[in-house]
Amino acid sequence: MKTKFLEIFPGALAWLTLLILISLSFVKPVWVAIFIILFDCYWLCKTAFLYFHLQAGFRQMRANQKINWVNELINNQQPTTGNWRNIYHLIILPTYKEPYEVVRESFLSLKNANYPKDKLIVVLAIEEKAGVAAETIVQKIKGEFEKDFFKFLVSRHPADLAGEIAGKGANETWAVKEAKKVIIDPLKINYENILVSAFDIDTQSGSDYFGILTYKFLTAEKPRRSSYQPVPLFTNNIYQAPALARLIAFSTTFWMMMHQSWSERLTTFSSHSMPFKALVEIGFWETGVVSEDSRIFWQFFLHYKGDWRVVPLFYPVYMDANIAPSFWHTLKNLYKQQRRWAWGAENIPYVLSGFSAAGITLGQKIYRGFHLMEDFHSWATNALIIFIFGWLPVLVGGADFNISLLSYNLPRVTSFIMTIASIGIITSAVLALSLLPPKPKKFKIRHYIFYLAQWVLMPVTLIVMGSFPALEAQTRLMFGKRFYLDFWATPKSRSKTAG
């Protein structure tokens, strides 16, 4: 009963917020107008706060990209935490139906990494149900890359195992268990000397990723009680992506970059790394959930009674923007991807229920619980409040309200605040240009104008690809198992779609 209530609560709170604002706009428009002005001021302050974190994160990332991290490891030995040459990296690359070109590019980035290859254990984790097509890719990848690493393993995740949701988490768990059984245990590699990098199949690691990861691990305050999070740059195919896909890609990058500088709020997302020993101790990823990349953080957090954190790497990994062969198919896929990410609200009942266990401090429960709830509530409601409900009292507040000074000033105050906030959007647009990969020959001056102008779509993006999928996800959670989402693997493509 407690879990069911906690599943209902996020969606109910979001809908209650929106319905109260709608209702009061008719009967108490003055109240709503005052609330909107105060909320816009709060949103502006929060935007400024996050913008400074974004700038700090960007500067630190650029600085880290200029460092040869293997040299740092050689020149800065850390005898109290171990020799870096003893650290092995277990890299899991789960794949389903992605094309060979995508898989090969990820393996090339590992082959070209500035790190000793005799410390890399690479697992290509395929789904048994992918059939002959997956096996064909396996043979090509093995033929080209098998001898480039200390160990190379292909794991085949069986279909339809009881209690599993077919998806990345189940595949990763099977792959790590196979690596443990076939490689790690027979070779007697010390669990404490292994870092696991769980990568999406399109993830291309920066050349010094494993260098900085090892350095951060050896110098962290609590290395074996920490996850390690890079900055995802969705730029592998950015020049083939339409404007809306580019906008969402960079918005996601900026959100993660902000939180790199706000590490007490940071949780794991998409491709990231973690200690192998801790992963074994918690029993690997839960195989019955969709949002495995964030759930794994909360598994660690609850298992170790709050003694878990995420260490920001301030270093990029490169991934695919979400595109499809046609523009409308791309929009559909963008919505489904955002809805799947928003399904991370399933962590709310899991975490709040887990807080009943002894050992986690009251301060941690309040801080973590509040911000977890606030993140998903804001995701579902903020854009609607700012860009739509801010005008509602003027439209439905009645004649008495419409002749008031507050009615006259509400849209002007709102517009003024949005104008100030747009300064951050303009700066973000310029920042996005600096994150683009080497430009193709066809990229002309006019394209810079298009890439800057796309940011005027931000309000539409925040509503259609933000609030709407978040509301749907929380509503599905609210109505129970019949409406739960299954795992949806974002199709990877090297489509020529652009806009």
- Torsion angle of C-alpha atoms 413, 415, 419, 425, degrees rounded to 10: 120
Give the type of residue at 92: I
Q: Which residue has the tokens 């850390």?
A: 78
Q: Where are the beta strands (DSSP E) in 67-185?
A: 88-95, 120-127, 151-157
pTM comes to 0.92
Q: Which residue has the tokens 């896929």?
A: 333
pLDDT in tens, 67-115: 999 999 988 765 455 789 999 999 999 999 899 999 999 999 999 999 9
For 453-467, b where at least 16 C-beta lie within 10 A, e where not — what string? ebbebbeebbbbbbb
Contact 269, 232 (CB under 8 A): yes
In terms of CATH, what superfamily is 1-499?
Spore Coat Polysaccharide Biosynthesis Protein SpsA; Chain A (3.90.550.10)
Highest mean pLDDT among 77-91, 169-183, 347-361: 169-183
DSSP 8-state code for residue 207: T
Crossing angle of helices 468-479 and 362-387, rounded to 10°? 130
Q: Does the structure show a pLDDT above 90 at 388? A: no
pLDDT in tens, 449-458: 778 778 888 8
For residue 158 the two structure tokens come to 């069986």
pLDDT in tens, 199-228: 999 999 999 999 999 999 999 999 999 999
**Domains of the chain by residue range:** 1-499
From 173-182, 307-316, 482-491, the region with the lowest mean pLDDT: 482-491
